[in-house]
Structures are given as C-alpha cells and as structure tokens.
DNA sequence: AGCTCATGCAAATGAGTC
DNA sequence: GACTCATTTGCATGAGCT
C-alpha cells in the first residue's frame, strides 16, 4: 500500500480515480471488493514503475494466447482526449506495454491496395478536457460480485483498462454515443437481424442453379472437413469446417478450469441477456452503438452455445462481460477512453461482400483457367466484375483453399493446377474439369478472356 | 406474419513462410 | 508481396415459437 501511495502521489489525477473507485464500491456496497482492491493495489502497484502515459495490463498466458493472433486489439491503451493521466496497473504477472500509437493506428480504414476508402466512423474525438479518469479496474471489479455470479478466473482475466464515469457526468458526453448510459433496445427499432433484408445481393449459386458443366465431382474420399461432422451442432461449430476445437465439443473431463469459467459465463450471459430484454441481435447492435467491437447475432449465438474455440470465446467474453456489466449498471459506465473496446478500438472488419451468382460464375470460370492469377489478371477480373482487386485476390485464395480441402490433398498438379476431377466435388462454385497442367502454366489475359 | 435463434457457407483476417 | 493454412465471423436462411 505504501508503494501504492508513492505511485499515486506522483500521479495526481489517480487520486481522483481512486476516490471514484472507492466511492463506487461503497455505493455498491462492495465492501469486500473495496478491501480487495486496496489490498491488490498495495501488492501490485509495487510491481509498476511509473506508467505516465500509457497504461498496461497483464495477460496471463492462456488469454494472451487468445489475443495473440489479433494485433489490432491492443491490450492496453491510454486516453487521448482526457488529460494525460497515469494509469494504475492492477494485475501483475507479465507485462506488455504496447507502444502508444495503438489508438492512432486506431485504424483509418484498412487500406485496400489501389483503392481509396472512405474513413470509417470516427471513434475518438478531441473534446477537450473530459471528466473521465482513465483507470485500470482490478479484475475483481470487472466482474462485479453483485450482479454477476461469474468470477473471472486468473486464467481469463478481464482486460483491465477502464474509465469510471460517475453517473452525473454521463450527460456531458459530446458525441452522443460515448458514455451514454445503456438503454434498452427499442422494440420498435429495427433489430440487427433485420438488416438481412431486401437490399442484399442475391444468394450465391445454389447447386441446382450451377450449370451442369460447372459441377465438379467430389473426391471419393471426402475428408472429414467438407461436411460438418455433426449436424446437430453439438459437436462441431457449424462455421468451423476444420478441426477447430470448440468448447462445446470438449468432453467435460477434459475441460480446464478456464474452460469451465467460460462456459459458466456463457450460460450466465444468456440468462441475464434475456432478463435484461435483449435479443442476440440487439446485443450486437448495442455493442456497436457503444463503440465496442461489435459482433453479429450469429456470433453472439455461437458464443452462448460455446461453439467457438476457447481462445475466440475468451476474446469475445471480455467484450460481453463488460457490456453486461454496463447493461446491469446503467448508472455506472465503465469505459476506457470514452467507450473504447476492452480489446482495443472497435474492429474494422471489412463488411462481408456477397457476390452475385453472375460474379461467382465468372470468377469460377477464371479459376478454372487460372487458379493463381497474377496481379494483372486479378485487376482485369476486378474491373470486369466491379470488385476490388483485393476482393478478387481473396476470393481466389479462398477458392484454392476450399478446393483443396474439398478435393482432398492435391498432389503433383496442386490446387493451382486442377487435376482431372474425380466425380463430384464442390458443386456450387467449382469450375468444370480442366486439363492437367504441368508446371502450372500461367495464362495470358487473352487466353483467359471468356 | 413476424420475431428470434441456430447453422451452413464462405468472405475476411492473421500467422507463418517463401 | 503474395501465398498457404487455420481461424474468425457475417450473411442468408430455415426452424421454431408467439
């Protein structure tokens, strides 16, 4: 504690932060938590050298692993608009202090080669001094003892950068989204799911609409990957076509404590979501509204069913846990830098493009002729189909991948050089058999013109 | 009929590699 | 820089319910 005081004395504003925290705890009658926080501060602050401008948090291995693949989700950040405050490190263990920038990387939209994109929604603005105090909430706080039965295990800690926003200050939020107390979704407002309405592109070619000549045969031994092994959805994640392990598929006896915690939270989340009157789609919408990483209804559904990999579930849990806390405590918004996602700035995942049957047909024809088109061809195809070159490139990548998995291992000829096709294969999109091409001879554009 | 949820499929993404 | 591979996650849609 003494060390904590030392640190705090150096960082003026954190006194205010601590005051707020303790007031909050008192207000919530969280005596135990308060004590624990004090205790924890006393312990952990000693491990910190001053962290004047950037905050940091720890990620024990299991969770760190879950983050490891997504570098766009910084695990720590400090505020941009609030006066520079020190952040108190609460968790211990390994540290990784991310270089500032994160928020700047704050992504302008992902850049697509050769294509100028309009910037995404501005997540951070300069509002001048803001009455929010960046603070790293201790893990026990991130899972409020009161409303939440779930207690975060050490192996799945919450991201712990938060800003406590006193209720009275909520109205000062300048952007209408940030720091707004969570409100119940209006039943009259269009739910998230309703976006899947008439404005979408036509569905992809169905097997029946594909020209007979375009129907490939499936390999005699279709691997286990072409079809979900379990159609009832209890063993394999539907969206998981490979050997991805989902939490739901792990036998009880093999579940680690961390897995149990995830499952427990998923159950609790579902229960409380329903109690709060939110549909899965509304949760996704609310996440987006609040500036968090948003997820589609389907992802929320999969989370609740634990049809996600453990690491993926852990990642999503951090967001949902925070969302749930705010939903249950509308007067006390936990926010880091306004409403920054605990995993970093909201993801800017490119909106999924649904290709028209016509586009798919053309793409498949090109794929047949040249599964590995060069840049020039890609650009030509993109122009013809009014797509981005990057979209075309990705389509070919995915197509090769799908082809390879659905047709078994490709030998000499490789997926790039379609081998004589065995009867039946990917019926929806695969092109008709092509002559075996030794050495994957590239086609010229002229040859590719259909 | 309209809403919610579950799920197949595939577009998008990230890590590792060449 | 572009590929492969594994993974994540959104769109579309069907099932079930009210």
CATH of A357-448, one of 2.30.30.280, 1.10.10.60, 3.90.550.10, 1.10.8.870: 1.10.10.60
Nearest amino-acid residue to B9, taking CA and C1':
A239
* CATH superfamily for domain A239-330: lambda repressor-like DNA-binding domains (1.10.260.40)
- Determine how many CB atoms are found less than 10 A away from the CB of residue A186: 9
CB of residue A349 closer than 7 A to nucleic acid strand C? Answer: yes
Nearest amino-acid residue to B5, taking CA and C1':
A301
Nearest amino-acid residue to B10, taking CA and C1':
A398
Residue–nucleotide distance: A12 CA to B8 C1' (Å): 55
Distance in angstroms (rounded) separating the CA atoms of residues A211 and A208: 8
Distance in angstroms (rounded) separating the CA atoms of residues A174 and A128: 10
Nearest to A59 by CA among A41, A48, A74: A74
CB of residue A274 closer than 7 A to nucleic acid strand C? Answer: no
A306 neighbors A247 (Cβ within 8 angstroms)? yes
Predicted local distance difference test score (pLDDT) of residue A256: 87
Distance in angstroms (rounded) separating the CA atoms of residues A322 and A221: 46
Nearest amino-acid residue to B15, taking CA and C1':
A69
CB of residue A243 closer than 7 A to nucleic acid strand C? Answer: yes
Domain ranges of chain A: 2-106+127-172, 239-330, 357-448
CB of residue A372 closer than 7 A to nucleic acid strand C? Answer: yes
Distance in angstroms (rounded) separating the CA atoms of residues A283 and A274: 10
Query: Which nucleotide has its C1' atom closest to residue A193's CA?
Result: B4
A140 neighbors A416 (Cβ within 8 angstroms)? no
Predicted local distance difference test score (pLDDT) of residue A348: 74
Query: Which nucleotide has its C1' atom closest to residue A372's CA?
Result: C3
Q: Along chain A (450 residues), what's the average pLDDT of each consecutive run of 10 residues?
A: 35 40 43 45 32 31 32 30 29 36 35 33 30 31 36 37 33 28 31 31 29 29 30 32 73 86 92 93 90 88 93 91 87 56 66 91 91 90 91 93 72 33 35 33 48
């Amino acid at each position: 504690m003494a060390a904590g005081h030392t640190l705090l004395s150096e960082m003026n504003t954190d006194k205010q932060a601590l005051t707020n925290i303790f007031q909050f705890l008192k207000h919530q009658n969280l005596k135990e938590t308060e004590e624990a926080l004090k205790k924890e501060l006393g312990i952990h602050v000693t491990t910190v050298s001053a962290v004047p401008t950037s905050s940091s948090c720890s990620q024990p291995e299991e969770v760190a692993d879950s983050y490891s693949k997504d570098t766009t989700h910084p695990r720590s950040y400090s505020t941009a608009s609030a006066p520079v405050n020190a952040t108190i490190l609460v968790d211990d263990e390994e540290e990784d202090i991310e270089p500032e920038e994160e928020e700047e990387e704050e992504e302008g939209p992902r850049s697509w080669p050769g294509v100028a994109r309009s910037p995404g929604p501005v997540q951070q603005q300069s509002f001048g001094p803001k009455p929010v105090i960046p603070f790293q909430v201790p893990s026990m706080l991130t899972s409020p003892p009161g409303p939440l039965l779930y207690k975060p295990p050490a192996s799945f800690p919450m991201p712990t950068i938060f800003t406590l926003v006193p209720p009275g200050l909520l109205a000062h939020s300048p952007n209408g989204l940030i720091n707004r107390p969570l409100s119940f979704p209006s039943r009259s407002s269009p739910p998230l799911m309703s976006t899947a309405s008439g404005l979408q592109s036509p569905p992809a070619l169905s097997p029946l609409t594909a020209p007979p000549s375009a129907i490939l045969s499936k390999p005699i031994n279709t691997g286990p990957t072409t079809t979900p092994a379990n159609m009832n959805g209890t063993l394999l994640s539907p969206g998981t076509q490979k050997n991805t392990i989902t939490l739901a598929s792990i036998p009880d006896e093999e579940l680690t404590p961390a897995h149990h915690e995830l499952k427990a939270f998923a159950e609790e989340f579902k229960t409380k979501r329903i109690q709060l009157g939110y549909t899965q789609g509304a949760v996704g919408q609310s996440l987006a509204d609040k500036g968090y990483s948003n997820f589609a209804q389907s992802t929320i559904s999969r989370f609740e069913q634990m049809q996600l990999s453990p690491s993926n579930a852990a990642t999503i849990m951090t967001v949902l846990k925070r969302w749930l806390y705010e939903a249950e405590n509308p007067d006390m918004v936990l926010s880091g830098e306004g409403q920054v996602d605990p995993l970093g700035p909201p993801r800017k995942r490119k909106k999924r493009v649904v290709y028209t049957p016509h586009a798919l047909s053309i793409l498949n024809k090109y794929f047949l002729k040249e599964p590995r088109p060069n840049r020039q061809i890609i650009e030509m195809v993109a122009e013809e189909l009014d797509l981005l070159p990057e979209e075309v490139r990705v389509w070919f990548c995915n197509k090769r991948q799908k082809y390879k998995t659905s047709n078994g291992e490709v030998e000499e000829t490789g997926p790039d050089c379609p081998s004589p096709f065995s009867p039946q294969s990917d019926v929806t999109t695969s092109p008709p058999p092509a002559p075996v091409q030794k050495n994957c001879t590239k086609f010229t554009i002229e040859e590719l013109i259909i």
